[in-house]
Structure 1
């Protein structure tokens, strides 16, 4: 199995992370849009390099439930390759893609590669660094949607993520979170304990075969 195929493990083995850099180009057809996504491996990107199945689950959920993205102000956290946010932008949303600084060149490259021939229907996606619990207050709170795909795997970051989400959602944004439910990384505890401490949380889709859940959350009044 190649490094590019080992997508069920959020911590690829070291020789994949730090070997010579290589890339994998993939084409995804989602909600009528064809996205060309480059995944860069061996560039110390770690979990930011692959397109995770949870991201594709979230895209398919939006299609199945006819979630309206056009005209929405959307921010994606831990965007990685950017597949979810880029799709939203292709569908007419005003999108900000965020991740740690190391992941931004990959994001910017994928944004450039996926500009529609006629131009972005709303505005080109903005790519910015965001470290949860540190610089989230530099971002506004007037979003319609906050998107998160397979970013729940490091328990020490869970309080920081909740704090960041609370700021971003303080004016009424809804959060969609798609996660592989990894018990070894205490992913279920995030949805059972951490997120409900400040948010109303609803399980809206469950794929038992892929062990992937999608949740919708809104900040509780007074939080």
Structure 2
């Protein structure tokens, strides 16, 4: 992966006032045969939504290694941040909805626009929508095929809200893939061993000891 400089056709305007007093970094990621230009905007109060986290790259790698079918699948990404994972799925032919808190949506939408293939999106342009866990998930359908989550397990007070949201999204049998850096200080193990396990069947499918990242596959229990 390499860093890329802006050009005359830069889809991210720098003088529109949206990201005043900020700086950004453009990186081109080569993933699953696709080249994605992702802008990370720092200093815009985006916090953890600004960077591309290693757990997102690991999730993309896992989907490729395991040949997880995404073409034609209905996919929703939670806490999408820069949108790397969901945009990749859309480039591969999935029907994708990217969600995050409202503050992160301009960055998400800009990255979606920057990564539209020259021939157009294989299925449809990714939707970018606000979603606050445990609050407005009922505005979303429950007929997804895949729910993707990359490094969103770090605030213990949100864990019950996230489980409630996941349970709604998975009513029709969606499979959830969650990629997480295991931060004991943030009680990440408790989320998987207690909170998620209370409603879902959970399986550890990949472990990277060097990065301390786990990938889990989960499905809603029908009891």
Tell me the TM-score normalised to structure 1 length: 0.91
Q: Is 1:80 matched with 2:81? A: yes
Match of 2:6 in 1: none
1:221 maps to 222
Matches within 5 A, 1:50-199: 50-199=51-200
Deviations 1:121-140 (A, max 9, x none): 00000000000000000100
Rounded Cα–Cα distance in structure 1 between residues aligned with 2:214 and 2:174: 20
SS at match of 1:143: coil
CA RMSD of aligned residues (A): 1.1
Paired with 2:152 and 2:146, the residues of 1 have a C-alpha distance of 16
Tell me the equivalent position of 2:7.
none
Q: How many residues align?
A: 205
Deviations, residues 44-79 of structure 1 (Å, cap 9, x unaligned): 000000000000000000111111100000000000
Gap regions ≥5 residues in structure 2: 1-19
In 1, the alpha carbon distance for the partners of 2:28 and 2:164 equals 35
1:14 maps to none
Cα separation, 2, equivalents of 1:109 and 1:193: 37
> Shift of residue 167 of structure 1?
0.1
| Structure 1 segments (4+ residues) deviating >6 Å | none
User: Equivalents in 2 of 1:117, 1:185: separation in Å?
Assistant: 42
Q: Distance in 2 between the 1:170 and 1:141 partners?
A: 6
Provide the rounded CA distance (Å) in 2 between the counterparts of 1:197 and 1:131.
21
Q: What does residue 40 of structure 2 align with?
A: 39
The CA deviation at 1:20 is 3.1
Return the TM-score normalized by structure 2. 0.91
CA distance in 2: counterparts of 1:115 and 1:195, whole angstroms: 35
* Partner SS, residue 40 of structure 1: strand
